[in-house]
Structure formats: C-alpha cells, structure tokens
C-alpha cells in the first residue's frame, strides 16, 4: 500500500496532461533525486528509499509513492510539496459564463 496516493482531475486532454506530468516529474526529480522512465502512460520512478508511479489518462493524474523507513517521517512535507506543485501545474476547471437573459418582448 502506498504511503502517498494522490489523484487530480484535469481538463487538459491527454497530450497536455502528459506534458504536465513531465513537468511534475522533472521538478520532483530535481527536488528529491528521483529517476524514472515512461512505460506507456505510466511513469515509474525510484531512488533509494522511494518508489512510485505517475499514471496519466484523459481525465486525471494518479500519483502513488511508497517511502522507505527513513523517509516515512517526512511523509507530510513530501506530500505537501507534491500537492503544491500539482496546484501550480493544473489549472482549475474554467467556469462557464452565466447565461445572459434573452431580450424579449
């Protein structure tokens, strides 16, 4: 069972979601020393004490991370860092403009 399990809905379409996942992976790689490779639509990554996947589809990104014993104490700060990056990369769903009343008579 993963220590961190985050799922984020998106409205980007598959190509843009994959580009966003690449940005997330690049940032997390730099921050936490992770290395990974894509197998289809799933990025598998690891480093000593960390393994995980980042799956991309048309509607959401799903990140799972398993932490080693020494990193479990840092779970909260790691999860917050990932959450903040996801907030920055994934735009909120665009709001629909309110319907204008019809002019009638």
Q: What is the CA radius of gyration of the chain?
A: 18
All structural domains of the chain, each given as residue ranges with its CATH number in brackets, are 4-89 (3.30.310.80)
Residue 11 has pLDDT above 90, yes or no: no
Q: In this predicted structure, what is the pLDDT of residue 102?
A: 65
pTM of the full predicted structure?
0.77
The 10s digit of each residue's pLDDT in 28-42 is 788 878 888 899 999
CA–CA gap between residue 59 and residue 15 (Å, rounded): 11
Instruction: Give the tokens for residue 31.
Output: 């921050």
> What's the rounded mean pLDDT across residues 52-73?
90
Inform me whether the pLDDT recorded for 95 exceeds 60: no
Residue 32 has what DSSP assignment? Answer: H
């Amino acid at each position: 069972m993963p220590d961190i399990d985050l799922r984020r809905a998106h409205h980007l379409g598959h190509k843009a979601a994959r580009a966003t996942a690449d940005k997330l992976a690049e940032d997390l790689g730099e921050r936490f020393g992770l290395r990974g490779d894509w197998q289809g639509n799933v990025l598998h990554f690891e480093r000593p004490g960390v393994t995980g996947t980042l799956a991309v589809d048309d509607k959401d990104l799903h990140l799972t991370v398993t932490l080693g014993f020494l990193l479990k104490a840092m779970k909260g700060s790691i999860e917050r860092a990932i959450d903040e990056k996801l907030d920055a990369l994934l735009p909120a769903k665009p709001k629909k403009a309110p319907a204008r009343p019809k002019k009638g008579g």
